[in-house]
Amino acid sequence: MRLVTTGLAALAALGLLAVGLPQIWYPMWFDQGAFAACGDVLRRGGVFLRDCWDVRGPLTPALYALATALSPTQPAVFAFNLAWQAAAAILLGVLAWRMFGSCLSGIVAGALLWLTMATLNYWSVAQAEGFANLCFIAATLCAWEASRHIDRRQARWLFAGGAFAGALFWFKYPFALYAIVLMAWALARHRHIGAAASVGAGAALAIGLGGVYFLAHGALDDLLLHLRYAIANFHNKPLDERWDWLTGLFWVEVTTFVQIGSTPTAGFKDTVSQVQWLGRGYPFIMLLVALGAVRSLWNSARREAGGLAILWLLTTVLLNVWQGHSYRYHFIIWLPPMALLTGAALADLRAANPIARLAALALFIAAVAGQVLTMWPWMRDAHDNVFVQGKSPRALHLESKEAAQLLLAEFLRDNAAPEDRVIVFSDTPVVYFLAQRKNATRFPYLRWADESRDASVRSALAEAYLSDLTRNLPRFFVLSRDGFPWESAHFIETWKRMPEVHRFIEENYEFIGENGPYILFRRR
């Protein structure tokens, strides 16, 4: 019997792995390209912000640097991401088991988190939110374990939970809100200020260590400027506009999330159909989340666990409302607490009445089927292209909508020496990573030049751009045409709105031709 159970578990694990495996051959989009470009700089000994600037925190580029330490390629990043998500799924399974006292809860929660992460769109994988989830889970696990002790181990668990929650600050600054939430929960649960203080001390240590990193590398001023940029751009709309957004765009996005999941699947080439069978399973997941919340709150033995899971979910919802941009990959931070509450729905099913038991199992099967069936065309496509036809990652990349970046990267790699620097004045930062050529400035993309709401911050960043440009003298300066990499892009106009940069290029560089949607200039 044990052998049969082990065999079935192994088959299930292989099946789950197969669902996520196509991600390894996905192309990188804007966000992944920015992380990869900065990760490359960190891998070569550079310092975040001082040598490579991104709107988010340093931990995601640091993980990209780790992922590409042996092989600076896109498949290496996505394979690392899958391993990270597997670790997060296992840890969530442990958390569900500890909180709800059921091995089945752990299996359900872990498997569902893996499936929801494995079926994301190509521009939603390997994002800051996906990597940060592991810290969210670890912080929650530590907080929960603390409730099982009344001696010094309680303070140690709470301190560790605070440290993981504090580390979230270095993925995205607002994520540190979870440290405050855990402090409030610890105070309410343990009824003494020392519990909250332990969480706060751990969070302060994690945030402080990051500050020491910038101070030790002479980049503290860069960090302060970065914080000013983040504060100015984080969602500073007037209250009436916030209300319009909340009742309009946000609910549109939530409806989309319920209907088809956080994003449509993959979508980087037109030869594979987008399948939305069973709403990608998300309507059933939502029902299971509601069922799990009700079952855990109804049962006095699981009420505290259910309350913490619900508090976690509400915090992630608040972070989305607060952030306001409503990019669909922002919803990724909802997925662990949703999977956790789904696990709660299937906890101790033997004690439930037969109808509730059957309903919970049917909902879970439908949720899994929706996830797997939607990913099936991409699994079949990856199998045909990689294992049957033996296509290389390059060939697969050239078949995608992101082929133009690879073609430019190959031109730069072939025409610039390894010690040469280049500039791509656009929002296609992946070119630096694909070309393995150094950026002449610290800015792998130019979105900040259009979107910065604080004029003084924008001016300071523009000065840094010009300083880097004149000091490092790139061999090639590359512009993207209007409408690329997205319809509203107008980087030629952005370039002209930076008169000193425009003048410097006009005086020192000559037009040499085009490469797809890119315009090429070479140093005279």
Mean pLDDT in residue range 234-253: 60
Q: What pLDDT sits at residue 469?
A: 96
Q: What pLDDT sits at residue 253?
A: 55
* Phi, psi (rounded to 5 degrees) for 314: -65, -35
Residue 504 makes CB contacts below 8 A (sequence gap 6+) with 466, 469, 470
Mean pLDDT in residue range 337-351: 87
Give the tens place of pLDDT for each residue, 155-209.
999 999 999 999 999 999 999 999 999 999 999 988 889 899 999 999 999 999 9
Q: What pLDDT sits at residue 12?
A: 81
Residue 510 predicted with pLDDT over 70: yes
Query: Helices (H), strands (E): how many in the chain?
Result: 23, 5
Alpha-carbon span 26 to 22, nearest angstrom: 7
Among 323-327, 424-428, 473-477, 495-499, the minimum mean pLDDT is found in 323-327
Q: What pLDDT sits at residue 256?
A: 59
The count of other CB atoms within 10 Å of the CB of residue 2 is 6
Between the ranges 8-17, 89-98, 189-198, 378-387, where is the mean pLDDT highest?
89-98
Q: Which two tokens stand for residue 18?
A: 């197969």
Q: Which two tokens stand for residue 505?
A: 């290029």
Alpha-carbon span 462 to 320, nearest angstrom: 30
Domain limits of the chain? 2-387, 403-523
Q: Is the peptide bond before 61 cis (omega within 30 degrees of 0)?
A: no
Whether 161 and 143 have beta carbons less than 8 Å apart is answered as: yes
Q: What pLDDT sits at residue 4?
A: 63
pLDDT band at 248 (very low <50, low <70, confident <90, very high): low
Please tell me which residue, 101 or 171, carries the higher pLDDT value: 171
Whether 20 and 85 have beta carbons less than 8 Å apart is answered as: yes
Whether 109 and 62 have beta carbons less than 8 Å apart is answered as: no
Q: What pLDDT sits at residue 260?
A: 45
Name the residue with tokens 């610890």.
186
Give the tens place of pLDDT for each residue, 127-155.
999 999 999 999 999 999 998 877 789 99
Residue 229 predicted with pLDDT over 60: yes
Residue 247 makes CB contacts below 8 A (sequence gap 6+) with none
Whether 220 and 183 have beta carbons less than 8 Å apart is answered as: no
pTM: 0.93
Residue 11 predicted with pLDDT over 90: no
Alpha-carbon span 117 to 122, nearest angstrom: 11
pLDDT band at 395 (very low <50, low <70, confident <90, very high): very high
Q: What pLDDT sits at residue 121?
A: 85
With a pLDDT cut of 90, the percent of the chain lying above it is: 70
Q: Which two tokens stand for residue 76?
A: 């290496």
Alpha-carbon span 305 to 231, nearest angstrom: 34
Among 32-46, 96-110, 349-363, 386-400, the minimum mean pLDDT is found in 349-363
